[in-house]
Amino acid sequence: MTTEHVAARINAWEVAQRQFDLAADRLGLDAGMRLVLREPRRELTVHFPVHMDDGSVAVFAGYRVQHNLGRGPAKGGIRYHQDVSLDEVKALAMWMTWKCAVVGIPYGGGKGGVIVDPKQLSQKELEGLTRRFFTEIEVLVGPEKDIPAPDVNTNSQIMAWMMDTYSMHAGYTVPGVVTGKPISLGGSEGRNEATARGCVYTIVEAARHLGLDLTTARVAVQGFGNAGSIAARLISEEGATVVAVSDSTGGIHDPSGLDIAKVIAWKQEHGTVQGFPGASDVSNAELLEVDCDVLIPAALESQITSRNAANIKARMIAEAANGPTTPDADEILFKNGVFLIPDILCNAGGVTVSYFEWVQDLNRDHWSEVVVNAKLKEIMVKAFAETLDVARRDDVNMRTAAYLLAVKRVADAMELRGLYP
């Protein structure tokens, strides 16, 4: 069975709720608070029409979910993928709540998605779908309420269309309604690399903690999009050797190391990493089990499960993706001494620089990349240290530690605000 088949059978929302339950139990969370935090605050489902190039009208389904708004407006990306479901979006929204709390930025959690394979659409159809979807979810979004961003298969051009759509309805330009925009439209320096850069900052901290020399480390990366390809580039700039990478079509492996700049160029030309000269083709399932020191899952949910966790050879897993590891797999990895940097910490660089972008937009300001990266590093290093402290104090894995920190911060905020009315 392929990793995709296994992933399709695992419900991300059940995984997210189980992870929350583990933390709530350990925290001895008040029963009422547990009920509130266990469910999303708002779930919007929309069915919307789009003019197709052949003259027909197609109807698509999409979602925007706000999990919790206790610490600030909702924040979270919008995903375009054929396998998007309401349960997946709910899970991703809940993870955003915890992520923003782990790194201490003043946001709640949200997420959106459209059931579509965007590779099947023309640019005109993609723009039409984006503008109409954003119009439909405008009842929820806004710079003070809910600020979307890119996720799988969405990019800065799509964010530009969303910002323009909202601004046309408002009658003036509202750059703060989405982040991950092009720089010329109020995007932040460093946002495109932020998820991967934050991930690599946490890998550097984890390597120091483990006594692992990154200049001799071998790294495998699953997923070669925004998070994965840039993480591969940045980790090789740290001196590590990237031995395997993959995308949705499969992966490549070269134990002597891949030249990442050349793999990026190859993928641009051929649309896949496979067939890269000098490397052997591997499946996505095989990629996870290659001999390496650091494994970076940077694709979709539920890739590391009870079926393959025991076969993973990496000493460290850095979750650039959201939800790549199931709770059963977590237990196996912890028992086997694999050090895992959980998604809500590891990939929080993306939302952190999204927050910087929003702050710059609201203040009509623009920071240099040096300033952005320095602020990002400070936040990621601090969050890593705080999480590691809890892991050591309570003798728990890094995921549980991050959840203990995050859930407590959110519960404290909710407690202080009180129950309205």
Report how far residue 352's alpha carbon sits from residue 17's, in angstroms, rounded to the nearest whole number. Answer: 24
- Residue in 111, 145, 267, 313 annotated catalytic: 111
Q: How far is CA 49 from CA 30, 129, 130, 169, 194, in A?
A: 44, 8, 11, 19, 34
What number of other Cβ atoms are within 10 A of residue 167's Cβ?
A: 15
If the CB atoms of residues 321 and 405 are measured against ligand NAD, the closer one turns out to be 321
In the complex, which residues of this chain contact ligand NAD (CB under 6 A)? 4, 150-153, 195, 222-228, 246-248, 284, 298-300, 320-322, 347, 350
Taking a C-beta distance cutoff of 8 angstroms, is the pair 107, 68 a contact?
A: no
Of residues 352 and 414, the one with the C-beta less far from ligand NAD: 352
Helix (H, G, I), strand (E, B) or coil at 304: strand
Assess contact for 5 and 308: CB atoms under 8 A: no
For helices 260-270 and 226-237, give the axis angle rounded to 10 degrees: 160
154 three-state secondary structure:
coil
Q: Which is nearer to ligand NAD, 322 or 411 (CB)?
A: 322
Give the CA-trace dihedral at 277, 283, 288, 290, to 10 degrees: -50
Nearer to ligand NAD, 83 or 412 (CB): 83
CA-nearest of 275, 203, 211, 277 to 240 is 203
Query: Which pair of structure tokens corresponds to residue 401?
Result: 């530690």
What are the two backbone dihedrals, phi and then psi, of residue 94, each rounded to the nearest 5 degrees?
A: -65, -45
- Cα–Cα dist 28/71, whole Å: 21
Min separation Cβ 95 and ligand NAD, Å: 9
Minimum CB–partner distance for residue 196 and ligand NAD (Å): 8
- Parallel, antiparallel, or unpaired: how do β-strands 57-68 and 108-115 relate? antiparallel
The least distance separating ligand NAD from the CB of residue 298, rounded to whole angstroms, comes to 5
- Shortest CB 336 distance to ligand NAD, Å: 23
Residue with tokens 């979004």: 141
Closest CB to ligand NAD among residues 155, 167: 155
Q: Shortest approach of ligand NAD to residue 338 CB, angstroms?
A: 20
Cβ 215 to ligand NAD shortest distance, Å: 26
Q: Which is nearer to ligand NAD, 220 or 405 (CB)?
A: 220
- 228 vs 342, beta carbon nearer ligand NAD: 228
> b/e string for 356-382 if b means 16 or more Cβ within 10 A?
bbbebbeeeeebeeeebbebbeebbee
Which residue, judged by CB position, is nearest to ligand NAD in the bound state? 225
Query: Closest distance between ligand NAD and the C-beta of residue 195, in Å?
Result: 4
111 is catalytic: yes
Q: Helix, strand, or coil here: 353?
A: helix
Active site residues: 111
